[in-house]
Amino acid sequence: MTDANNELEQKVQGLRIDRSSSKGKSPRPWLVFLVIAVIAGPSLFAGYWFFLSGRGVLEVEAVVVRIAKPQALESTVLEGTGYVVARRQTTVSSKTTGRVAAVYVEEGMLVENNQLLATLDDSRQQTNLELARAQVEEIRASIDEVEVRIKQSQLDLERVKKLVVDAMVSQDEVDQAQLQLDGFLAQKRRLEKSVDVAQKNVTLQEQELEDTNIRAPFEGVVIAKAAQPGEMISPVSAGGGFTRTGICTIVDMDSIEVQVDVNEKYINRVSPGQPATVTLVSYPETQLPAQVIAIIPTADRARSTVRVRIAFLERDSRVLPDMAVKVSFFEEGTTLVSNEDTQLGADVPPTAVVVEDGQHYVWLIEQDTIQRKSVEVVTITSSGLTRLVNDFERGARVVRNLSELDFSKFENGMQVKIAN
């Protein structure tokens, strides 16, 4: 019993924790570092990322290169304003009144000559055409019937003629047989004429059916769509608001010209064939070469103006009907530059051009990087800009404040940040 108690006491003593050995020891170092990393980690990461992201990014000022466009050497004799008009423009309608079945065009669509624009409900026209064709077949069947009677009459006539030789029948019966044959022949000729009339009726019904297909009268661009499927359309106004008078409006872009109302006091400065330039209000940097077509021989009494027609010497897809324009009239013999892309050079601020070893160059900004571009300086313009003979794309940008930067450290492909 005593031995058992001693053994149990030894086991209990072995389970006790000796705290005397852990007294005075500090917490483990890795645990302290872990706590600090959890608390201060986000702040340290953000600071480190900010340091790296700002490293090597140069802040510069950008300026858009001004493209120098050619101008006429002679001064203008007259300035005027006007509008772009289309000489060939039409609202396409149907020849008959009907319900729109389908429309195949939208605004801005280019259509060819005779292209299908829309269709009308053709159920009535289809029925009329089938009826006309049936009438033709009926008349031809009647002709076949008459031809059978003609053959019978011819046989009767020959038989009677043989009998009259033998004095078995009288001449009167021969005459009657001949008249009967002539009657059937006349009836056949009438039916043949009826076939021609019925065939013309078929042609008419085919045209009525074709008229349900509305086609483009010429090549052009659709600028307005007036009708939708299910609506009624008529070539004439029906007096109500539920019947359309057109499917769409088409403009022949090749017939576009400019009309300017010139004050009658200055009309003596304008003459047919006179050179001119047209500047679109929407694109003020674009000057299109033009020429006076004619002076309309009448004046507007209320406005004291005379209308002048002006033709474009070359086609430009940006010119649209009803656009506002400015027109400059030049003296006779003035030579106009007909190519819009021809450049006299480009203008940049003097601070955007640097010289190194006798070579001029600028730093071209492409997205968020810079590229070195060699240039040739021509002169300084009246506005204080440096004129370059080099060509630049429209909207190109260069570094403007090179005088404030250490551009000796610039490299091609270097990332920059636009400050302005």
- The answer to whether the CB of 262 falls within 8 A of the CB of 305 is yes
- Over 60: is that where the pLDDT of 246 sits? yes
- Over 70: is that where the pLDDT of 214 sits? yes
Looking at domain 90-120+212-251, its CATH class is: mainly beta
Res 24: pLDDT: 46
CB within 8 A of 93, min separation 6: which ones?
A: 214, 233, 234, 235, 245, 246, 247
Structure tokens at 180: 């009967």
> Per residue in 87-138, pLDDT tens?
999 999 988 889 999 999 999 999 999 999 999 999 999 999 999 999 999 9
pLDDT category of residue 240 using cuts at 50, 70 and 90: low
> Per residue in 144-159, pLDDT tens?
999 999 999 888 888 8
- Over 80: is that where the pLDDT of 277 sits? yes
- Over 90: is that where the pLDDT of 251 sits? yes
Q: Pick the closest to residue 353 from 374, 383, 382, 381 (CA basis).
A: 374
Res 7: pLDDT: 59
- Over 50: is that where the pLDDT of 331 sits? yes
pTM of the entire predicted model: 0.55
Residues of the chain above pLDDT 70, percent: 79
Distance CA 255, CA 220 (A): 10
> Per residue in 341-381, pLDDT tens?
444 578 888 888 988 888 888 988 888 889 888 888 877 77
Name 105's bridge partners: none
Distance CA 300, CA 41 (A): 83
- Over 50: is that where the pLDDT of 389 sits? yes
Task: Calculate the average pLDDT of the chain.
Answer: 82
Structure tokens at 272: 């047919």
CB atoms within 10 A of CB 225: 18
> Per residue in 16-68, pLDDT tens?
555 544 444 445 555 555 555 555 555 444 444 333 344 457 888 888 888 76
Res 49: pLDDT: 38
Structure tokens at 337: 């530059």
Distance CA 292, CA 305 (A): 16
Per DSSP, 350 falls in state: G
CB within 8 A of 228, min separation 6: which ones?
A: 100, 103
Looking at domain 76-87+254-330, its CATH class is: mainly beta
Residues of the chain above pLDDT 90, percent: 43
Buried b (16+ CB within 10 A) or exposed e, 325-358: bbbbbbeeebebeeebeebebbbbbebbbbeeee
CATH, range 62-69+342-418: 2.40.420.20
- Over 90: is that where the pLDDT of 413 sits? no
- The answer to whether the CB of 404 falls within 8 A of the CB of 362 is no
Per DSSP, 149 falls in state: H
Res 387: pLDDT: 81
Distance CA 143, CA 95 (A): 36
Distance CA 149, CA 191 (A): 14
pLDDT category of residue 385 using cuts at 50, 70 and 90: confident
Least confident among 1-15, 258-272, 302-316: 1-15
CB atoms within 10 A of CB 278: 25
Report strand pairing: 58-60 vs 414-418.
parallel
What is the end-to-end Cα distance of the chain in Å, rounded?
Answer: 98
Which range among 207-216, 326-335, 370-379 has the greatest average pLDDT? 207-216
- 407 or 374: which leads in pLDDT: 374
Res 23: pLDDT: 46
pLDDT category of residue 12 using cuts at 50, 70 and 90: very low
Res 163: pLDDT: 80
